Amino acid sequence: MLAFFIRRFMQAIIVMFVISVVGFAIQDNLGDPLREMVGQVVTEAEREVLRDEMGLNDPFFVQYTRFIGNALQGDLGTSYFFKKPTLDVIFAKLPATLELVLGATLIVVLVSVPVGVYAAIRPQSWFSKCAMAFSTVGISIPVFLTGIGLIYVFSVELGWMPSYGRGETEQVWGSWRTGLTTADGLLHLILPSITLSSLMLPLFIRLIRAEMSEVLQSEYVKFALAKGLNPMRIYFLHALKNTMLPVITVGGVQIGTMLAYTILTETVFQWPGMGFLFLEAVNRVDTPLIVSYVIVVGAIFVITNTLVDLIYGLVNPTVKLAGKSA
């Protein structure tokens, strides 16, 4: 267990290192911090002195070490636009994005597992055929169009749902403002969550159905039948547990995709999360904020992927946690 954890941890560190180099390279090449700080009136000679003082003329490696040193102390620079530490700005927006991802994940899990399992057990039924047709169509609709469609139908035409923003939010602890505790906040969460889940839902229905059908063909399911077990036990214990193993792996990869698509969903619904913030930062050429976003998102990727691998190792007995996977 420990060896597996350490191995996985080392890998995470290496990936984080690569991300930090990318982040630093962006910072190094994108925009001149002096221009933001001192404006046009300062002469070239004075600028050179300032550059020296700030260490901007130091070799790449020295600058990078300084960058990492600061980053490890939680300092990724100050946003040009907000005039505040970038991490503060990003963490203020993080709850909105996480709540959106949570809502979408709940929808995906609660819908795709029962539908996928049912479609595998009764492939010929009317409902299964509809579900599969839905997932083929769903996979072909870009996320932002789903969002636009939902807004057009439920906000513009029917007027049932709000079309933008988070609605009413409450301070829970620290700087965490949540929309989950107010009715208005939950109402605002519905359409964006459905939109974000529309990306994964068809994929997972198809995946679970395919894996489950394959497992249902297996010898051990036949043997379970020959033992005279209750079909519910066979489907939901014997088969589902084996089905979920590849689903967990794919799910881990898809978390990254989901995070990327929060940018689209947040743009459509003007959801005040990290993705929306990032696009604003790009338009304002707010370099420190862009770099911080890249690093924070990179860290989220690495952490979730590591966690998913660990969960997989815990769920799957054939992975020897001490060594290589089967």
Partner 1 sequence: MSHASESVAIAQSVDAAPSRWEKFKESHYWHSFKKDRVAQISFTVFVLFVLAALFSPLLAPTDPYDLASIDIMDSEIPPSWSEEGEDRFWLGTDAQGRDLWSTILYGTRLSLIIGVCAVLLQAFIGIVLGLTAGYAGGRVDSFIMRCADIQLSFSTMMVAIIFLAVFQAAFGSELYQRLALIMLIMVIGIAEWPQYARTIRASVLAEKKKEYVDAARVMGFGSGRIMFRHILPNTLSPILVISTVQVANAIITEASLSFLGLGMPVSQPSLGSLIASGFEFIFSGSWWITVIPGIALITLVLVMNLLGDWLRDVLNPKLYKG
Partner 2 sequence: MALLSIQNLEVSFGLRDGPVKALQNINLELNRGDRVGIVGESGAGKSVLGFSILNLIAKPGFISNGKVLFEGEDLVHASQKRLRQIRGDRISMIFQDPMMTLNPVLTIGDQMVECLHAHKKISKKDAREVALQKLQLVQIPSPEKRLDQYPHELSGGMRQRIVIAIALIMDPDLIVADEPTTALDVTIQAEIMELLLNLCEQHNVALILVTHDLGVVAQVTERTVVMYAGRVIEQGPTDEIIKAPQHPYTQGLMNALPQNCLPGQLLNQIPGSMPNLQNIPQGCAFNPRCEFVKESCLKERPDLQSTATHDVACFKVHPERSELLSTGNGSDVKERA
Binding partner of residue 21 among partner 2, partner 1, none, CB cut-off 5 to 8 Å per kind: none
Comparison of 165 and 180: residue with beta carbon closer to partner 1: 165
Binding partner of residue 223 among partner 1, partner 2, none, CB cut-off 5 to 8 Å per kind: partner 2
- 215 contacts: CB under 8 Å, gap ≥ 6: 221, 239, 242, 243
Within residues 12-31, the interface with partner 1 by CB under 8 A covers 15, 26, 29-31
Beta-bridged to residue 177, according to DSSP, are 171
- CA dist 151 and 270 (Å) reads 12
**How many other C-beta atoms are found inside a 10 Å radius of the C-beta of residue 200?**
26
Binding partner of residue 318 among partner 2, partner 1, none, CB cut-off 5 to 8 Å per kind: partner 2
Q: Closest separation between CB of residue 170 and partner 1, Å?
A: 28
267 binds partner 1 (CB under 8 A): yes
How far is the first Cα of the chain from the last one, in angstroms, to the nearest whole number? Answer: 15
Binding partner of residue 45 among partner 2, partner 1, none, CB cut-off 5 to 8 Å per kind: none
- Pair 295, 68: CB distance under 8 Å: no
- Pair 161, 154: CB distance under 8 Å: yes
Q: Closest separation between CB of residue 172 and partner 1, Å?
A: 28
Binding partner of residue 151 among partner 1, partner 2, none, CB cut-off 5 to 8 Å per kind: partner 1
Our measurement of the distance from residue 15's CA atom to the centroid of its chain's CA atoms, rounded to an integer in Å, reads 17
Distances (CA, A) of 86 to 82, 142, 159, 174: 8, 31, 37, 17
276 binds partner 1 (CB under 8 A): no
Q: Which residues bind partner 1 (CB under 8 A)?
A: 15, 26, 29-31, 136-137, 139-145, 148-149, 151-152, 156, 163, 246, 249-250, 252-253, 256-257, 259-261, 263-264, 267-268, 278-279, 282, 285, 287, 290, 294, 297, 301, 305
